[in-house]
Amino acid sequence: MPELMNPVERARRRAAAEGRIRSLANTSFAAAGIRWPEEMYRAAWAAWRAHPTYTPTGRGGITARSVVASATAVDPDDIILTAGSSISYHLLFSIPRRRAAATVALPVPGYPLFEGILSPLGMEPVWYRCLPENGFLPQLSEIEQLVNGPHLPPAALVLISPNNPAGVTYPDRLIAAIVDRCADAGVTVILDEVFSLFRPDLGERDIVAHDTSESSVPVVHLNGLSKLCVAPEVKLGWIIVSGGDSATRAHLTEALDTEHDTYLSLSGFAEAAVEPFIAGDAAGQARGAIRERVDYLRGAMVAELDALPGVYPAPGHSGIHIPLQIDPVVAAERFGTLDDEAIAVEILNATGVYLHPGYFYGLDAPQFSGSPWFVASALTDDETRSEAAAALQRFLSGRR
C-alpha cells in the first residue's frame, strides 16, 4: 500500500510520543492561553435556552444577521450566515461550478484548504503568485493574464487579506484594481478577511477590513467568529455581498440561500452567540485584548527567529503565521540539502522542534527556490518558544 503519512508527520508523532516535542506550528489560540471571555459563552447559552426554537433558513436568522449587519454597515439581506468559512467557500464554489469554467484562482503561497473543497465539486485550482520580492502581494499583471488569457477565465478569484501564511495586508487600491480586472472578465472576487483582527492598520475596522461598497460589481467578503473571537468551536461564519447594484446582490444572495438550504448547517447556539460575541463595548474590548496578545506573541517569535544563525523571518505584520527562510549556504553546510521536508525531519529528530516545511503552503514551487522555506506559528506560549529557540540555536551552531 502507498504510504499515507508524510515523513514530517511521522517524525512529529515520534517526538510527541517520546515527550520531547517543542511545537512552533500549533495554531490553537487556547494553547497560547488566549480565550474568549467565559461570561459571553454563558450569555449565548442563556439566550439560546430562553428561546430554544429551531427555525432554520438558508440565510440564517434575521436577528443574528442584523447584529452582523450593524457591525459591518451593510444590509441584513446582503448577509448569509454559515457554520464557518469552509462551508462558505463550498457554497460560493458550488454556484459557479455549472459554468464552463470549472476553475478557481487561488494565491500561492496559501493555506492548504481549497483543493479539498474544489475536488468533490469537479473543479480545479489555478494559481497566481504572491512573491516574496513583491512583498507577498499579488501581481496585477499576472492576474490580468489569468483572467484575460487564452483559456476560459476562472469562475472566481480568491483574495486573502491579511494573507495566510505571509501575514500581509493588501492595499485597498490593489484590491480595487483586481476587482476591476475581474469584473471585466466576469470573474467573482471572494475577499477572505478571516484574519482581519490581526492587521496592523486596523483602526476601527476589525470585522470588515476592506471597504468595497463603491465597487461597480459585487465583492464577496468572508469572516466569522473563529478568529475574531478565537471561537472556532462555535462554528459561525458569514458571507457579505458588497458593492454592485442591489438587483445583482439580491440574485447572488438568493442563490447562496437556496444552496445553503440543502444543508442548514448553522446551529441555534451559534446564532445566539452572535450578539454577545459581536455587539457592545465588552466584545470590542475582548477583541482588542486578543489582538494585543497576538501582536506580542508574533513580535516575540520574530525576534527569536531573527536571532538564529542563517534564519530570516519574513517581514509580515499580520495574521498568526510567520514564514521564514534558512540561508542556502547554512542549509547546505548543516543539512547537506535544501529540501525543506528533509530539513524539517532532521530538526525534529535532533531537537524535537516542529516547524511546518514551506511546501505545506506552496512555498516549494520554483519561484520560491534558492532558500528552503518554513512556517512558524505566532500562537506559541513563552516557555515553548524560548526552549525551541535555544534548541535551534545550539543545533544550527553545530552544538548539542
- As a whole number of Å, the CA-based R_g of the chain is 22
Report how far residue 342's alpha carbon sits from residue 336's, in angstroms, rounded to the nearest whole number.
Answer: 10
Whether 345 is in a domain gets the answer: yes
Decide if pLDDT at 4 tops 70: no
CATH of the domain at 361: 3.90.1150.10
Would you state the pLDDT for residue 207? 77
- Residue ending a domain, among 230, 261, 279, is 279
Determine the straight-line distance between the first and last CA of the chain, rounded to whole angstroms: 38
Whether 34 is in a domain gets the answer: no
Whether 87 is in a domain gets the answer: yes
Query: Beta-carbon neighbour count of residue 180 at 10 Å?
Result: 14
pLDDT band at 319 (very low <50, low <70, confident <90, very high): confident
- Residue ending a domain, among 220, 244, 279, is 279
- Residue ending a domain, among 241, 263, 279, is 279
Total residue count of the chain as it appears in this document: 400
| Number of domain units in the chain | 2
Would you state the pLDDT for residue 1? 39
Tell me the whole-structure pTM to 2 decimals. Answer: 0.93
Report how far residue 312's alpha carbon sits from residue 240's, in angstroms, rounded to the nearest whole number.
Answer: 37
Would you state the pLDDT for residue 137? 95
CATH of the domain at 160: 3.40.640.10
Report how far residue 380's alpha carbon sits from residue 25's, in angstroms, rounded to the nearest whole number.
Answer: 8
> What average pLDDT does range 274-295 have in this prediction?
93
Would you state the pLDDT for residue 346? 96
- pLDDT per residue as tens digits for the range 49-97: 998 877 888 999 999 999 999 999 899 999 999 999 999 999 999 887 5
Decide if pLDDT at 399 tops 80: no
Residues 266/56, Cβ–Cβ less than 8 Å: yes
* Pair 65, 110 in one domain: yes
Would you state the pLDDT for residue 100? 58
Query: Which residues are bridge partners to 357 per DSSP?
Result: 374
Whether 33 is in a domain gets the answer: no
| Amino acid in position 383 | E
Name, in order, each residue with C-beta under 8 angstroms of 86's C-beta and a sequence gap of 6 or more: 113, 117
* Pair 206, 328 in one domain: no
Whether 32 is in a domain gets the answer: no
* Pair 45, 66 in one domain: yes
Would you state the pLDDT for residue 302? 95
pLDDT band at 208 (very low <50, low <70, confident <90, very high): confident
* Pair 275, 288 in one domain: no
* Pair 252, 309 in one domain: no
- pLDDT per residue as tens digits for the range 100-121: 568 999 999 998 889 899 988 8
Decide if pLDDT at 140 tops 90: yes
* Pair 270, 356 in one domain: no
Residues 71/278, Cβ–Cβ less than 8 Å: yes
* Pair 261, 291 in one domain: no
pLDDT band at 204 (very low <50, low <70, confident <90, very high): low
Would you state the pLDDT for residue 79? 96
Would you state the pLDDT for residue 142? 93
Lowest mean pLDDT among 38-47, 109-118, 227-236: 109-118
- % of the chain residues with pLDDT over 90: 76
* Pair 158, 98 in one domain: yes
- pLDDT per residue as tens digits for the range 159-176: 999 999 999 999 999 999
> How many helices (H) and strands (E) are present in the chain, helices listed first?
14, 13
Decide if pLDDT at 257 tops 80: yes
* Pair 19, 57 in one domain: no
* Pair 265, 370 in one domain: no
Whether 2 is in a domain gets the answer: no
Pairing of strands 356-357, 373-377: antiparallel
Report how far residue 141's alpha carbon sits from residue 168's, in angstroms, rounded to the nearest whole number.
Answer: 19
Would you state the pLDDT for residue 3? 59
| Amino acid in position 359 | Y
Report how far residue 64's alpha carbon sits from residue 234's, in angstroms, rounded to the nearest whole number.
Answer: 14
- Give the DSSP letter of residue 170: P
Q: Which of 137, 159, 167 is nearest to 321 (CA)?
A: 167
* Pair 213, 155 in one domain: yes
Supply 327's cell numbers.
540561508
Name, in order, each residue with C-beta under 8 angstroms of 337's C-beta and a sequence gap of 6 or more: 331, 343
> What average pLDDT does range 372-391 have in this prediction?
96
Cα–Cα–Cα angle for 85, 86, 87, rounded to 5 degrees: 90
Enclosing domain of residue 63: 39-279
Residue 112: strand, helix, or coil: coil
Cα–Cα–Cα angle for 275, 239, 263, rounded to 5 degrees: 90
Residues 369/357, Cβ–Cβ less than 8 Å: no
* Pair 228, 180 in one domain: yes
Whether 1 is in a domain gets the answer: no
Whether 111 is in a domain gets the answer: yes
